[in-house]
Amino acid sequence: MVEYVYRDRKMMKWMPFNALLEQGSYISDLLHGKERQTMPVLSDDQEVELNYKLETAYLFKNEITVSYFESHKIKQIQGIITKTDLYKKLIFIGEQSLSAYQIIGIEVL
């Protein structure tokens, strides 16, 4: 006996309404708005702790996992800090650069 599994079409059922120009941008916001996140606000204590972890990881060449906020999403990168730019407040992990203002979490491995 085969059981029927209901599969919702989610937002696809609203695609025909995308033909109307006024509603096209509204439906696009609905589709992509669910994925968007706001950047978490860090307290002073959390910023001091992040700074301490960054300094020790850079001095001792520890491998770290950095959580950062970019394009309304929280992303992660893993590696060793190779270089820092104090004037532009950039941290280089391998070939990728991160702004210090984007970082929301650091985990030392």
Contacts of 100 (CB under 8 A, 6+ apart): 54, 89, 90, 91
**Each residue of 52-74: pLDDT tens digit?**
999 999 999 999 999 999 888 88
**Each residue of 7-27: pLDDT tens digit?**
766 666 666 655 665 666 776
Domain identity same for 2 and 53: no
Domain identity same for 102 and 80: yes
Q: Measured between alpha carbons, how far is 9 from 58 in angstroms, rounded to an integer? A: 48
Domain identity same for 66 and 98: yes
Domain identity same for 54 and 97: yes
Instruction: Report percent pLDDT > 70 for the chain.
Output: 73
Q: What's the chain's average pLDDT?
A: 82
Q: In the 8-state DSSP scheme, what is residue 6?
A: -
> Quick check: 108 pLDDT over 60?
yes
Q: What is the mean pLDDT of residues 68-88?
A: 91
Domain identity same for 32 and 70: no
Domain identity same for 61 and 31: no
Domain identity same for 57 and 93: yes
Domain identity same for 55 and 99: yes
Give me the CATH number covering residue 48: 2.30.30.100
Q: Measured between alpha carbons, how far is 82 from 93 in angstroms, rounded to an integer? A: 6
Q: What is the pLDDT of residue 90?
A: 92
Domain identity same for 14 and 58: no
Domain identity same for 62 and 95: yes
Instruction: Count the domains in the chain.
Output: 2
> Quick check: 76 pLDDT over 90?
yes
Domain containing residue 20: 1-36
